[in-house]
Amino acid sequence: MVNSQVNRRRYKDTKTRLFLHWTHQRLGRTRGCYDLDCPGFVQTCSDFIIGSPIKPVSEYGTNQFYITITIYKDIQSGNWWVKLQDKDLGYWPSSIITSSGATLTTLTWGGEILNSNLGGHHTATKMGSGRFPGDKFGKSSFFRNLALIDESNALRNPPNLAPLITSPSCYDLQVQKDTKSKFGTYFFYGGPGRSDKCP
């Protein structure tokens, strides 16, 4: 998994950071870790520190900034590479993938919130900008140019997008396709967390 997050418990601040996370199941045991906390992901580019704050970040109603993340499998080595902007950041070695012929069967994009239901209430943690997707560009968070890389190394639009919204009164998602614009297949997402409509 590669995404951005705010994680006060882990980083002791509220900055938006790029993070990596992986898990591996073998012989009934699950192992894995964040960033470079354990052997697994091999960083090859020193231009960016994994787990460091993303700068600049978008501002509500004004400047919008983008990062481009690509994950692809090197057919010869079997390694799964992560590209940030136009640079290879590093890879997960084929040795941590359970079978040499492993292929990707599911892609996911989106936001996730940890909700412990403390005191019987939903968390007040915001997802994205804290705005619902109906607020659109400049206000709602979004992913754009969703694509997958096929066996011939060509970019393809995701064929079967299936939105999953577990708490629609707290967070929401709107998927759209516009192949004529710079957004391609995209979605706005997010929400404020606990509110009158999300107790």
Mean pLDDT, rounded, for 24-42: 83
Give the 3-state secondary structure of residue 9.
Answer: helix
pTM: 0.85
CB atoms closer than 10 angstroms to residue 38 = 11
Give the pLDDT of residue 192: 96
Beta bridge partners of 33: 22
CB atoms closer than 10 angstroms to residue 19 = 18
Beta bridge partners of 20: 2
Confidence of residue 23 (pLDDT cuts 50, 70, 90): confident
Please determine, for residue 44, whether its predicted confidence score (pLDDT) is greater than 80: yes
Give the pLDDT of residue 99: 57
Give the count of alpha carbons within 13 A of 192, CB side only: 10
Q: Kindly report, residue by residue over 95-141, the tens digit of the pLDDT.
A: 887 654 556 677 889 999 988 888 889 999 999 999 999 999 999 99
Please determine, for residue 185, whether its predicted confidence score (pLDDT) is greater than 90: yes
Q: Kindly report, residue by residue over 78-100, the tens digit of the pLDDT.
A: 899 999 999 999 999 988 876 54
Confidence of residue 189 (pLDDT cuts 50, 70, 90): very high
Domain ranges of the chain: 1-103, 106-199
- Mean pLDDT, the chain, rounded, equals 89
Residue 187 makes CB contacts below 8 A (sequence gap 6+) with 109, 110, 133, 142, 143, 146, 163, 173, 174, 175, 176
Q: Using a pLDDT cut of 70, give the percent of the chain over it.
A: 96
Residue 18 makes CB contacts below 8 A (sequence gap 6+) with 2, 3, 4, 48, 50, 51, 52, 54, 67, 84
